[in-house]
Structure 1
Amino acid sequence: MIRKAQAVWRGSGRDGEGVLSTGSRALHDTPYSFRTRFEAQPGTNPEELIAAAHAGCFTMALAFALQAADLTPTELNTEAAVSLERDGEGFTITRSALSVRASVPGIDGEHFERIAREAEKSCPVSKALNAEITLSVSLV
């Protein structure tokens, strides 16, 4: 399986602008720039997309892990917070903090946390990240 995305950039690093598109067209000419990355202007940025990918991957892995345990969640709600920090002359993604709130009938907190931790380890995006990954869980 191969998934594709494309970035087009015009101009300098600080003053230029770009667009991102995905093969599925979920993103199509979505703007990104220095301002969307470092100044919270409208548009997206690579770290936000990594956070979305990590949250989505982990949540799906957790759903499959719960299914394997004969459990069906009512809802899984995951936030991923990706940290970008200065690293010499550049930047490094140093951390992805996953936080999941879940409603899962028939499970206790300890069992849920064990399943969630295993799901995080099996998530392909977790495996791809060269960063610290933390996980906090709560049942509602």
Structure 2
Amino acid sequence: MTAPWDPAAPGVLRLPSGRLVRGRGLRAGPPDGPAPTYALYLLGRPPAAPPWEFRWLRWPDFRLPSDRAGAYRLLREAWRRTATDRVELACRGGRGRTGTALACLAVLDGVPPAAAVAFVRRHYHPRAVETPWQARYVRRFDAGR
């Protein structure tokens, strides 16, 4: 098992189960501290390959994932790996797509879908999940398997 994220580090979200996941914006550059061991990048185009294991989910800015079933699988895998890995979710700015994905992980971790956006805004960033359709995606996430 990999050493977990520092719960006090910027962008680290503690899920109700105690699992830790880091959200961030790629535009800001790499943060200080340890690197992730697994990452899910939520971008319109493939990212440059980092030196750690990662997956890319095609997700244009201010929109929703292009492949909903694939998104569910990748988000579920990211959530599963938070038990043993330092998992990072990231988009360009770190709020809309990243916040939406973090809210989906919160749903997988037991937060009711109707409360997941508020949970992420309270514990990650107050402006996470930027659009009404992103919030609706979270509310319908678990039902959309």
> Smaller-chain TM-score range?
under 0.3
TM-score, with normalisation over the residues of structure 1? 0.26
Name the structure with the higher strand share: 1
TM-score by length of 2: 0.26
Structure with larger Rg: 1
